[in-house]
Amino acid sequence: MIIRIALLALACILAADIGWMALSASFWMLPAMLAGWYAADMASGVVHMYMDYKPSRAGIGLDKIFFYEGSRESAEYLALRDAAFSQLNPVERLIYDFKNHHPRPDALGRRSMVTQIGSTVLFATLPFTILANIVFLLFPLPLWLIAGVLTFVVGASFAQYFHGTLHRKDNPLIVRAMQRTKLLMNAEDHRRHHETLQCDFSTINGWSNPALNLVFNAMRRRGYLRDEGLIPN
C-alpha cells in the first residue's frame, strides 16, 4: 500500500510540474530534457555497477537459495528464501536481486511494473522530487533546468522497468517506439553486459556506457570491484 501511495504522490507532483512548465515552454527545454535523460541513464549504470559488485551479507543462507537446484516453487526453497530474506534490509534485498538476475535474467521481465519501480520511487525519486520542488519554489530557476531535472526523475524512476523490458518480448507499443528512436536500448544492446558482467551497466538507453566503462575499468584496476562480489557467499 505504501508503495502505491508513493507512486500516486510522485505522479501528482510531476503532473503539476509539467502543467507549470507548459505555460512557458521554450526551445532550451529540449536539450535540457536530453541531458536529463542521459543523467538518468548514467544513474542507472552507477546503481547497477554498485549492486552487481557489492558483496551480499554472508552467513544467512543467500548462497543456498542462489545455487538452489530444485524447484523454486517448492516448500523447501520458499522456506530457505523466507528465512534469508527476513534478515535483509531493503537495500540488501536489492543487492541480492541484482546478483540473482544474472543467471535468471528473464525473471525480471515477468515482474509487474509496480514491483520493478516501487522501491526506487519510495526510497529515491519521490524524496528527491519533493526536495527539488522545494528548491524550485524558493529560487527563481529557469524552466529549462526544471525540465531537465523532471526528465531525470522520470527516467530514474522507470530505470528498472526499462531494464525489465530488455528481458521480454511482449513490450508495450511506446517502449518499442522509444527503442526504435534509441531513447531506450534494446535487448541486443544489453546482451554484452550479461556476457561479461564487466561493461555496459546502464539500462535506459546506454548513452552513458562509454563513460561508465572507463570508470569501471579504472576502479577494477585498483581492486575496488572484485569478482567475489558477483555471487553470494
Residue 36: CB partners within 8 Å, gap ≥ 6? 147, 148, 149, 150, 151, 152, 155
Q: Which three cell numbers stand for residue 198?
A: 564487466
Q: What is the pLDDT of residues 76-130, one digit of tens each?
A: 999 999 999 999 998 899 999 999 999 999 888 888 999 899 999 999 999 999 9
**Torsion angle of the four alpha carbons 26, 157, 14, 25, in this order, in degrees rounded to the nearest 10:** 0
Asked if residue 38 lies in contact with residue 207, where contact means CB atoms within 8 angstroms, the answer is yes
pLDDT higher than 80, residue 144: yes
Report the largest interatomic distance among the alpha carbons of the chain, rounded to a whole angstrom.
Answer: 59
Percent of the chain with pLDDT over 70: 100
Distance CA(48)–CA(42), nearest Å, equals: 10
Question: What are 196's three cell numbers?
Answer: 561479461
Q: What is the CA radius of gyration of the chain?
A: 19
Is the pLDDT score of 23 beyond 80? no
Neighbours of 191 (CB within 10 A): 13
What mean pLDDT value characterizes the chain?
93
Q: Give the whole-angstrom CA distance, residue 37 versus residue 89.
A: 30
pLDDT tens digits, 31-48: 999 999 999 999 999 999
How far is Cα 91 from Cα 149, in angstroms, rounded to an integer?
24
d(CA 26, CA 44): 28
